[in-house]
A and B are shown apart, each in its own frame.
Chain A
Amino acid sequence: MPAMKRIVAAAAVAALVPAFAVAQDAPVKVGVVSFLSGAAAGPFGVPARNGAEIMFEMLNAGKVPAPYNTAGFGGAKLQMNLVDESGGTTTQVTEFRNMVQRDNVDLVIGYISSGSCLGIAPVAEELKKLTVFFDCGTPRIFEERSYKYVFRTASTATMDSVGAALYVRDLRKGKIKSIAGINQNYAWGQDSWGDFEKSMAVLVPGVKVATSQMPKLFAGQYNAEISTILGAKADVVHSSFWDGDLEAFILQAGPRGLFKRSTVILTTGETAMYKLAERIPDGVVIGARGPYGPYAPDNELNKWFSSTFQDRYGVPPNYAAYQMAQAILGTKAAWEKAQAANGGKRPSDDQVIAAFERLTFTSPAGKVEMAIGNGHQAITETAYGVTKKVKGKMTIANVKRYPAEMVNPPDGMKAADWIANGFKK
C-alpha cells in the first residue's frame, strides 16, 4: 500500500510539473483599453494603441533598449486583448468585467478619459485585478480613496495646470490682470481649470477670472464661447480641450483673432500642433501633459521609441503614445522586480503590486516616480513652451522645465490644499 501511495504521489507530481512549467511560461494576458472609435480615437486612442503594439511586439522580441532588453515580462510573452474605450462609463465597466471574468486577463492597462478611470477604479478593486491607468488626468482618483489594485503611471492634471500657471506667470512677467478658461464640462475639464485658477490666484495675487466657459464634451461649435472670451479681454486664456474639440477650437478661434488678443495655453496642444501647424500662430503656449513629444529627453530609450514609431507609422509619437509606452514599461519593471524577489518564479498579483508601490523607473520620457497616492500615482517633471514657426515648420521655443516636486503635490496631500497653501506641505 505505501508503494501504491508513492506511485500515486509520483504520478501526481509528474502531472503537476508540466502544468507548473506551463504556468511559469504562460503568456501574460494584458487587457489594453484605448479609444478606437469616436472623436478621441484619431488624436489619442489610435496613437496610444500604436504605442502599445510597438511595445508588445518589441518586448516580446527582446528588442527594447536597456534596461528593458529582456523578453516580455520576466520572460513570459505578452498577449494583447484590445478593447475600445468608447461608449461611456457604463459600457466600459461592462467591458472591464468581461476582460477580467470571461477573458481572464492577468492585468489591464488603459483608459484615456477621466470619466472612464473614475468608473473603473472601484470595479478593479472589487474584482481584485491589477489595473494601470496610462493617461487619464483627474487627481480625484487617489485623492478621494485608496486603492490596492489601481496604479497610474502618468501625472495628474494638477501637474499640467500648475506647470501652465508657472509658465504664463514667467512669460507675461507681471502683466496678467485677468484670466479666462474654456474647458470641457466633466471631471478632466473641471479639475484642470480648478487647479489652474487656484494656482494663478497664488502666483499672481489679485488676478481676476474674466470668464470660465464649460461647454459639453464633443460640442464642436464654440462661436458663442469664443465671443464671450474675446469680449472678456482676458490676458491669459487656459484650455485643457483635447480630441476633436481641441482641433475645432483652434480652427474656430484662430480666424477670430483669439490667439493674437490673449496668451492662449493649450495644455494638450501637442496632439494638434503638427496637424494644425498652419492654423496655430506663433506664441501659443503648448503643453504635452509631461515631458513627452517635443519635450522628451535626449536619451537612448526615447531615441529608439520615437524613431521606431516614426518608421512604422510615418508620424512622430504624440504624448498618448508615450504615456502608453510608459505604462507598459512601468508594469514590466514592477513585474520583473517582483519576479526577482520571488526567486525568478512568476510573481503573484500581490507581489507585483508590492513591487509597483513607490517604484522608480525609466521611460522614454525620463524618470517616473510612483511617489504619491500611497505609491500608486506617478509624478514626473513637466515642460511648457511656445509655438514658433521656423522656415514654415512648427517648432517649440522658450522651453521651460519644471521638476516633479515643483508641480505635483506631496504624498497624502490633496492638490487643492497644496495649491491653496502656496505649494507648501
Chain B
Amino acid sequence: MEQLVAVLIDGIIYSAWLFVAAVGLTLIYGVMKIVNVTHGSFYALGAYAAASITGWALRQGMPEGLSYAVLLGSALLITLVVAPAIERGILRFMYARDEVVILLITYALFLVLEDVIKLVWGVSPLFIAEPYGLLGSFDVLDLTYPYYNLILVGVAIACGAGLTWMLGHTRTGKLLVAVIHDTEVSRAMGINVERMYLITFTFGSLLAAIGGAFTAPTVSVVPGLGIEVIVLSFAVVVIGGLGSLPGAALGALIVGIVRSATVHYLPEAELFVIYFVMAMVLTFRPRGLFSLAEARKI
C-alpha cells in the first residue's frame, strides 16, 4: 500500500514537471506547425536566469519567501528578451520553407544557444537550492516530501488551466484556435497570423522557461540541461498527439506514472520504459492519443 501511494505521488510530481516542460512544445506545433527543438534552450535559459537572478536577489537580502516570485519573474524576463528576437529575427523568414528545414533551423538555434549559455554563464554549475527546502516537508506514510513538490504540481495545473482558459475564453485564444485549424482561411478572414505566431512562440517558450526556472532549485544548473528535457518532451507530446493540450497532459501523466511504477517495481527497465510506452501508443495510434482530425485539402 505504502509503495502504491509512493508510485502515485512520485508519478504525479514527475508528470507535473514533464507537463510544464512539454506543453509549450505542443502549443507551438499546434499553431505554427514547427517541431521546435529550441524549446530545450528556453528550458535551460529559464533555469539559468532563475539561478542567477534569484541567487543574486537572495544575496542582496531579499526575503526568501519572495524567491518563488523571482523564479517566475526570471523566466518571464529571459523569455521576453530572447523569444521575440528569435521569432522576429530568424524564424519569420523561414515560415515558407518546408517543415523539415524549419526543424533543422531550430536545431541549429538550439546548438547556438547552448554555446551562448556557456559564453554567458560559463560551464561551472549554478545552484539555487534555497526555495526547495524553504517551505519544509510533509510526511506521507513513511516517506518525506518537500512542500516544494506541491508548488511544481500547482504550476503545472496553473499552466494547463490558464492555457485552456486563454484558448477558450479570450479573443487572442480564439484567434489562435482559428489559426490552429486553418492558417490560410484565418489569414483570409483578416487575422494577423504573423502576430499570432509571435505571441505563440513567446508564450510557448515562456512555458519552457517556467519549467526550467522551477526545476532549477532541485538540480545543478549546468550546460546541456535542455537536452534531456527536449527528448522527454517530444516523447510526451508524441504520445499525446502533437498539437493537443489534453494530449500533452495525458502523455505527461502516462509517462510519469509508468516511469514511477517501473522505478519502484522493476528498476532495471526504467531506461527504456518511456520509449516502450511511446512505441506502443504509436503502434495503435500513429498520430498520438489526442491527434486532431484534419480536413483533407484539395
Q: Cβ of A247 and Cβ of B219 under 8 Å apart?
A: yes
Q: Cβ of B263 and Cβ of A213 under 8 Å apart?
A: yes
A39/B142 contact (C-beta < 8 A), A46-B124, A251-B219 known: no
Cβ-based interface call for B17 (8 A): yes
Q: By DSSP majority rule, is chain B's interface helix, strand, loop, or mixed?
A: helix
Write the nearest CB–CB distance from A408 to chain B, whole angstroms.
Answer: 29
Q: Cβ of B263 and Cβ of A228 under 8 Å apart?
A: yes
Write the nearest CB–CB distance from A310 to chain B, whole angstroms.
Answer: 16
Q: CB within 8 Å of A: which residues of B?
A: 2-3, 6-7, 9-11, 13-14, 17, 114, 118, 123-125, 127, 129, 132-133, 137, 142-146, 148-149, 215, 217-220, 222-225, 227-228, 259-260, 263-264, 267-268, 270-271
Q: Cβ of A221 and Cβ of B14 under 8 Å apart?
A: yes
Of the candidates B124, B149, B217, B263, the one whose C-beta lies within 8 Å of that of A225 is B263
Closest to B269 in A: A214
A248/B2 contact (C-beta < 8 A), A185-B271, A220-B228 known: no
Write the nearest CB–CB distance from A190 to chain B, whole angstroms.
Answer: 11
Write the nearest CB–CB distance from A256 to chain B, whole angstroms.
Answer: 5
CB neighbours of B114 from chain A (8 A): 37
A247/B127 contact (C-beta < 8 A), A224-B264, A254-B133, A256-B137 known: yes
Of the candidates A37, A247, A248, the one whose C-beta lies within 8 Å of that of B224 is A37
Q: Cβ of A251 and Cβ of B223 under 8 Å apart?
A: no
Q: CB within 8 Å of B: which residues of A?
A: 36-39, 41-43, 45-46, 86, 185, 211-216, 218-221, 223-225, 227-228, 230-231, 243-244, 247-248, 251-252, 254-257, 275-276, 278-279
Q: Cβ of A256 and Cβ of B220 under 8 Å apart?
A: no
A252/B228 contact (C-beta < 8 A), A212-B267, A214-B271, A279-B129 known: no
Closest to B130 in A: A278
A231 to B224: give the CA distance in the assembly, Å.
Answer: 32
B3, B14, B118, B144 interface centre (most CB from chain A within 10 Å): B144
**5 A-B contacts (beta carbon < 8 Å):** A36-B123, A37-B223, A43-B125, A225-B263, A228-B263
Pick the 3 closest A-B CB pairs, nearest first. Answer: A247-B220, A224-B10, A224-B263
CB neighbours of A218 from chain B (8 A): 224, 227-228
A244/B146 contact (C-beta < 8 A), A37-B123, A251-B129, A255-B133 known: no
CB neighbours of A38 from chain B (8 A): 222-224
Closest to A215 in B: B270
Write the nearest CB–CB distance from A27 to chain B, whole angstroms.
Answer: 28
Known: A42-B124, A255-B137. 20 other contacts (CB 8 A): A36-B123, A42-B125, A43-B125, A86-B224, A185-B271, A216-B270, A219-B228, A220-B228, A221-B14, A221-B219, A223-B14, A224-B14, A225-B267, A244-B125, A244-B222, A248-B218, A251-B220, A255-B148, A256-B143, A256-B144
